[in-house]
């Protein structure tokens, strides 16, 4: 069964590149949202198998979106991976402590990216 993965990122180009990378490197179904609110909406609607969440976003940022996801029983159990350009280890530790499957760094290697996501989620099937 094809897994669905939701990408939430306010940067159009990054979203596009990430989606393409995942599509090329796996057989997951990839959907994207350009803000926290949109991501939350899609998560409820699509019930994706995992969510890749940007941290720095205008309006509702990554942690806020995560909190909202966790507040909703429908989305509470969806594994979430933060993908962030933040580099300070303190920031990353703080993010990891919020209860996500992984904190992945930007920029990422588009070829290795699907494998990193799969590994963080404990999935197989990465090409």
User: Residues interacting with other proteins, by CB under 8 A?
Assistant: 10-11, 13-14, 16-18, 20-21, 24, 56-59, 85-88, 91, 106-111, 113
Name which of 45, 44, 34 is nearest 11 in CA terms: 34
Closer by beta carbon to other proteins, 34 or else 46 = 34
Cβ(57)–Cβ(10) below 8 Å? yes
Shortest spacing between CB 122 and other proteins, in angstroms:
24
Tell me how far, at minimum, the Cβ of 74 lies from other proteins, in Å: 27
Nearer to other proteins, 76 or 88 (CB): 88
> DSSP alpha helices (H): ranges in 5-75?
12-25, 36-46, 62-71
DSSP state for residue 60 in the 8-state scheme: S
Q: What would the two tokens of residue 98 be?
A: 């919020």
Considering beta carbons, is residue 52 or 78 the nearer one to other proteins?
A: 52
> Between residues 24 and 67, which has the closer beta carbon with respect to other proteins?
24
Whole-number Å distance between alpha carbons of 23 and 72? 28
Shortest approach of other proteins to residue 84 CB, angstroms? 8
């Amino acid at each position: 069964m094809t897994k669905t993965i939701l990408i939430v990122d306010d940067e159009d180009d990054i979203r596009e590149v990430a989606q393409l990378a995942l599509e090329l490197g796996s057989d997951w179904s990839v959907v994207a949202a350009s803000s926290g609110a949109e991501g939350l909406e899609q998560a409820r609607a699509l019930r994706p198998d995992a969510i890749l969440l940007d941290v720095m976003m205008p309006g509702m940022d990554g942690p806020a979106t995560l909190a909202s996801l966790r507040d909703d029983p429908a989305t509470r159990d969806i594994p979430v991976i933060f993908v962030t350009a933040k580099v300070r280890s303190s920031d990353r530790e703080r993010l990891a402590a919020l209860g996500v499957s992984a904190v992945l760094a930007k920029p990422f290697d588009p070829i290795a990216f699907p494998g990193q996501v799969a590994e963080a989620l404990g999935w197989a099937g990465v090409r």
